[in-house]
């Protein structure tokens, strides 16, 4: 079984974000594999262990993204592809999906896995856009995955419950927390990862040239929260004063 896992390198969830001239300052910030992508990597490795084949991990980013790919290789993936190009700085979801589709053109795959959301931008778009671009079905927020020949049975999270679907392969699946428990790279896995194939490609190597359709002008931190107010008096007086504050200060009534 040929499995592709698309991952993203993101800021550590505990990193302190600093803005400089309206942009995020990456200096001194620890980078990690997007946590939801770890579930996708683990599921890909489990599918390989059950059905055989290989796992190829793919990402877009700077040379630092090799760290994330090496971690995935240490977990048990077999090969890695990094698409790194200055033109991808600030790539939007459309461009990311287009480049990933181009990078996958030469690969045979039975299933593509990814995390359901990236913790930095929270868009949840790239994987489903990739499925649309490749012309294959997709299911998001999957909690359980079973492969039966050329079909897959998936249980996904929906508002207020779960839903079970049957789809044909190849397909794109995005992983939700609870799908599995990602393993830690072993010492032996880390040593083996150093010898595994990690291919770096530019947009020119892919024969691709395009610009993002959307660009972020600047980032801004939310306004600091104001302290609460304690309204004195009995219940009737407090209710009247609360109504006045909601009407005149908060302007919500």
Q: Summarize pLDDT for 135-184 with one digit per residue, the tens.
A: 999 999 999 999 999 999 999 999 999 999 999 999 999 999 999 999 99
What pLDDT, on a 0 to 100 scale, did the predictor assign at position 17? 81
What pLDDT, on a 0 to 100 scale, did the predictor assign at position 99? 97
Q: Which CATH class for the 2-206 domain? A: alpha beta
Separation of alpha carbons 95 and 81, rounded Å: 17
Separation of alpha carbons 54 and 200, rounded Å: 19
Separation of alpha carbons 125 and 131, rounded Å: 10
Domain with CATH 3.40.50.620 in the chain: 2-206
> Would the pLDDT of 61 be above 90?
yes
> Would the pLDDT of 75 be above 90?
yes
To 5 degrees, how large is the angle CA 94–CA 96–CA 102? 105
What pLDDT, on a 0 to 100 scale, did the predictor assign at position 14? 86
Chain centre to alpha carbon of residue 150: 26
pLDDT tens by residue, 90-111: 899 999 999 999 999 989 999 9
Separation of alpha carbons 47 and 245, rounded Å: 59
Percent of the chain scored above 70 by pLDDT? 100
Chain centre to alpha carbon of residue 251: 38
Mean pLDDT, rounded, for 21-44: 92
What pLDDT, on a 0 to 100 scale, did the predictor assign at position 27? 82
Mean pLDDT, rounded, for 38-60: 98
> Would the pLDDT of 25 be above 90?
no
pLDDT tens by residue, 200-243: 999 999 999 989 999 888 888 888 888 888 898 899 999 999 99
What pLDDT, on a 0 to 100 scale, did the predictor assign at position 84? 96
């Amino acid at each position: 079984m040929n499995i592709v896992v698309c991952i993203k390198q993101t800021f550590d969830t505990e990193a302190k974000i600093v803005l400089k001239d309206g942009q995020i300052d990456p200096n001194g910030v620890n980078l990690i594999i997007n946590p939801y992508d770890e579930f996708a990597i683990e599921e890909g490795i489990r599918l390989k262990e059950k059905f055989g084949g290989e796992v190829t991990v793919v990402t877009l980013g700077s040379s630092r993204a090799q760290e994330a790919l090496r971690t995935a290789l240490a977990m048990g993936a077999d090969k890695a592809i990094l698409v790194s190009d200055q033109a991808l700085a600030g790539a939007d979801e459309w461009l990311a999906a287009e480049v990933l589709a181009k990078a996958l053109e030469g690969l045979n795959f039975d299933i593509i896995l990814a995390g359901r959301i990236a913790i930095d931008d929270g868009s949840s778009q790239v994987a489903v856009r990739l499925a649309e671009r490749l012309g294959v079905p997709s299911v998001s927020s999957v909690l359980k995955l079973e492969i039966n020949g050329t079909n897959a049975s998936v249980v996904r999270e929906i508002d207020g419950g779960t839903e079970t679907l049957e789809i044909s392969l190849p397909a794109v699946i995005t992983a939700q927390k609870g799908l599995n428990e990602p393993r830690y790279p072993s010492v032996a896995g880390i040593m083996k990862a150093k010898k595994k194939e990690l291919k770096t490609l530019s947009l020119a190597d892919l024969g691709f040239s395009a610009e993002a359709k959307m660009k972020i002008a600047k980032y801004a931190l939310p306004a600091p929260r104001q302290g609460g107010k304690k309204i004195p008096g009995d219940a009737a007086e407090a209710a009247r004063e609360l109504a006045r504050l909601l009407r005149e200060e908060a302007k919500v009534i």
